[in-house]
């Protein structure tokens, strides 16, 4: 079913929304359409009694799960994106994402796998048999990678923050190989120096 609505706001609100949502002013209508689909799904679930939520945290978790499915294209967001939308601290956002990944684990599984596959495909290696480097903006994704490694083989080295870095992580070659096989990724050639 196609539903059309009109929303009125001034130029400042429009600029603010485009900045918060990370889109160009010209793309604001299309971007908001994905958010409105998530909101409408939330209302429909409530009207039909499918989601009878009582606690504020339950509402936020359900809302974030719908945003992941509709507005984020199935990508698990980082803490900063959630903080921008929910007006929460980084710690609160990290907890909210973790709760959604846990509470809605079966619905989120394909989204988590898709996010990790995309993330791991960006790993870089400087030399044959060397450590893989990867920028990861979300501690929840690091934790998920380490959980997967532990389930594959508890002796594998964990994904660990690179010393002196804010968001660059190191993946031992043996750990990367097991993750590469699990997520069906091609071999990464060392980056030319």
In a domain, residue 79? The reply is yes
* Tally of domains in the chain: 2
Which is it for strands 124-125 and 168-171: parallel, antiparallel or unpaired?
unpaired
Are 92 and 133 in a shared domain? no
Per-residue pLDDT of the chain (193 residues; tens, 9 = 90+): 777 888 877 778 888 888 888 888 888 888 888 888 888 888 888 888 877 677 888 889 999 999 999 999 999 999 999 999 999 999 999 999 999 999 999 999 999 999 999 999 999 988 887 899 999 999 999 999 999 999 999 999 999 999 999 999 999 999 999 999 999 998 777 766 5
The answer to whether the beta carbons of residues 97 and 64 sit under 8 Å apart is yes
Residue 22 Rama label (left phi>0; alpha psi -120 to 50; beta): left
| Last residue within a domain, chosen from 52, 87, 111 | 111
Are 72 and 130 in a shared domain? no
In a domain, residue 156? The reply is yes
Are 63 and 139 in a shared domain? no
In a domain, residue 26? The reply is yes
In a domain, residue 6? The reply is no
Are 100 and 128 in a shared domain? no
pLDDT of residue 192: 62
| Last residue within a domain, chosen from 87, 111, 135 | 111
Are 38 and 17 in a shared domain? yes
Print burial letters for 103-139: b (CB count within 10 Å at least 16), e (below 16): ebeeebeebbbebbeebbeebebeeeeebbbbebebb
Is residue 98 helix, strand or coil?
helix
Are 28 and 86 in a shared domain? yes
**Adjacency order of strands within the sheet including 160-161:** 124-125, 132-135, 168-171, 160-161
Are 89 and 55 in a shared domain? yes
pTM tops 0.75: yes
Nearest to 16 by CA among 85, 89, 92, 68: 85
Report pLDDT digits (tens) over 49-105: 877 677 888 889 999 999 999 999 999 999 999 999 999 999 999 999 999 999 999
The parent domain of residue 36 ranges over 11-111
- Encoded tokens for 131: 């450590």
Are 89 and 134 in a shared domain? no
79-86 vs 90-103: helix crossing angle, rounded to 10: 100
| Last residue within a domain, chosen from 77, 111, 145 | 111
Which residue carries 């996010």 as its tokens? 115
């Amino acid at each position: 079913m196609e539903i059309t609505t009109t929303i009125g706001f001034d130029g400042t609100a429009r600029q603010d929304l485009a900045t918060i949502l990370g889109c160009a002013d010209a793309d604001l209508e299309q971007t908001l359409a994905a958010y409105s689909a998530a909101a409408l799904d939330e209302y429909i679930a409530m009207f039909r009694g499918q989601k009878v939520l009582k606690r504020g945290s339950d509402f936020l978790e359900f809302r974030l799960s719908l945003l992941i499915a509709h507005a984020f294209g199935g990508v698990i967001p980082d803490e900063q994106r959630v903080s921008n939308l929910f007006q929460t601290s980084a710690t609160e956002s990290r907890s909210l994402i973790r709760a959604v990944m846990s509470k809605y684990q079966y619905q989120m599984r394909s989204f988590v796998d898709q996010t990790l596959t995309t993330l791991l495909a960006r790993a870089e290696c400087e030399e044959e048999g060397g450590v893989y480097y990867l920028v990861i903006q979300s501690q929840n994704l690091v934790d998920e990678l380490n959980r997967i490694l532990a389930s594959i083989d508890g002796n594998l080295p964990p994904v660990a923050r690179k010393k002196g870095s804010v968001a660059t992580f190191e993946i031992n070659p043996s750990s990367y190989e097991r993750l590469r096989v699990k997520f069906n990724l091609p071999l990464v050639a060392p980056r030319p120096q």
